[in-house]
Amino acid sequence: MGLYLNILALVLAVLLGTYVIVFGFLKKINEWCYVSSLGEKKHSLPPGDMGWPIIGNMWSFLKVFRSNDPDTFIYNKVKRYGRTGMYKTYLFGSPSIIVSIPETCRKVLADDEQFGLGYPLSTKQLTGKKSFHSIPNSEHKRLRRLTTAPINGHEALSMYIGYIEEIVVNSLDEWSSMKEPIELLNELRQFTFKVITHIFLGFTAESVMGSVEKRYADLNYGMKSAAINIPGFAFYKALKPWPRYQQNLTHTLDYPSLLCQRFVLEMGSSPPSQPCVFMPILHQLLIQLIPSLFGSITGARKMLVKILQGVLDERRVNDPNVKRGMIDLLMEIKDENGQKLSDEDIIDLLLMFLLAGHESSAHVAMWAIFYLHNNPEILKKAKVG
């Protein structure tokens, strides 16, 4: 009996010790690193929880975000800390303040002097150094001023309306003739990707559309994830090697010879610049010891950059048979000093516009169809109009 009690006491002691270590130490690491280090300023922070080391509150955030009630993430904080309207947390690899009151949100979004633009590290790395996500506010305003008029005006839109109408009609005819139900959102994603590609480049290439769309999907998913560059995470997939697609693209491209020369994805010679979050020292050591392992990195973003660079090079030969697209308009833009946008500017802007417009356009079209179907009187008015 005495031995049994001793074993039971030992088990309870181990469980208690584990609980103390996990919740009394590990759970406090982020709090010590990011809150206690502020000294007296920490008292001005709103209430909240900094979560676990490295991942913070990402697991709970993703869990409720993928559920049918994503607002639960905020409601849980309101229930725990009260209706303060601001809560500290740790999301996407950074200590953060969540603002949930409309008046405070308006102040944050409108006050450019006190609050600068900020995006997750994964977004900055995957959209490029010259996208609106990664540049200072002054440069942001300059690029918006230069690019808004040429690509949003009546003349620009008139260039695309005929093609958009054609592909909409053809897609609707194809969907209506199918005997089995379709996954509407996926079909709309393919449809909007084809439209946007035509708008951007002035032409489409069915042979590369699927490969480019797949790489774009990896890029888009990786951009919304935490910047964890290790296997199994979306960010890694957006940057990981894709050597087999190099061979596929080489066999499927049917562009002119100049485009083929540019579109074939040569293996890069430089290693990735983003170290692994969990093992930075080992990562750097591997780069030095095994350069060939990292020399073949051709990720989703790198593939898209190669393709767009090829289009830019081809357009400079002024092929009269190529229809004009947004890429041509961006190539013609000049600032107040007469300087044109660099290739890096143009490529990063196109990727940014693609990321911003593709997914949102597909969802808008899906909800428009959904609500028109559920409101036949509105559909009837739309047809008459």
Q: Is 340 helix (H, G, I), strand (E, B) or coil?
A: strand
pLDDT digits (tens, 9 = 90+) for 188-213: 988 888 888 888 877 655 655 666 67
* CA 37 to chain CA centroid, nearest Å: 32
pLDDT band, very low/low/confident/very high, at 236 (cuts 50, 70, 90): low
pLDDT at 254: 32
Phi then psi dihedrals of residue 99, to 5 deg: -110, 130
CA distance 216 to 252: 18
Domain range list for the chain: 2-116, 127-384
pLDDT digits (tens, 9 = 90+) for 142-174: 777 777 766 666 777 777 888 888 888 998 899
Q: How confident is the model over 83-88, as a mean pLDDT? A: 89
- Position 37: which residue type? S
Report for 58-72, 115-129, 249-263, 360-374: range of highest mean pLDDT: 360-374
Q: What pLDDT, on a 0 to 100 scale, did the predictor assign at position 226? A: 60
Query: Averaged over 73-101, what is the pLDDT?
Result: 87
The answer for residues whose C-beta is within 8 angstroms of residue 143's C-beta and 6 or more apart is: 130, 132, 135, 345, 349
**Residue 23 — very low, low, confident or very high, per pLDDT cuts 50/70/90?**
low
Residue 340 has pLDDT above 80, yes or no: yes
Measured CA to CA, the distance from residue 222 to residue 213 in angstroms comes to 14
pLDDT at 376 over 60: yes
Bridge partners (DSSP) listed for residue 90 = 95
- Per DSSP, the three-state class of 67 is coil
Q: Name the residue with higher pLDDT: 120 or 47.
A: 47
When the pLDDT of each residue in the chain is averaged and rounded to a whole number, the result is 72
Cα–Cα distance, 367 to 382 (Å, whole number): 15
Strands, DSSP E only, in the chain? 86-91, 94-99
Identify residue 136 by its one-letter amino acid code: P
Mean pLDDT of 39-48: 85
Angle between helices 343-374 and 300-315 (to 10 degrees): 110
Q: 128 to each of 122, 132, 355, how far by Cα in Å?
A: 10, 9, 12
Q: Domain 127-384: give its CATH code.
A: 1.10.630.10
Query: Do 25 and 53 form a contact (C-beta atoms < 8 A)?
Result: no
- Block residue for tokens 């979004």: 109
Using alpha carbons, list the distances in angstroms from residue 252 to 211, 263, 296, 327.
Answer: 10, 11, 21, 23
Under a CB-based contact definition with an 8 Å cutoff, are residues 301 and 321 in contact? Answer: no
Residue 280: pLDDT band by 50, 70, 90 thresholds?
very low
pLDDT exceeds cutoff 80 at 219 = no
For residue 94, what are the β-bridge partners? 91
* DSSP classification of residue 153: S
pLDDT at 250: 35
Angle CA 367–368–369, to nearest 5: 90
Query: At 120, is the pLDDT very low, low, confident or very high (cuts 50, 70, 90)?
Result: low
Structure-block tokens of residue 5: 């009690």
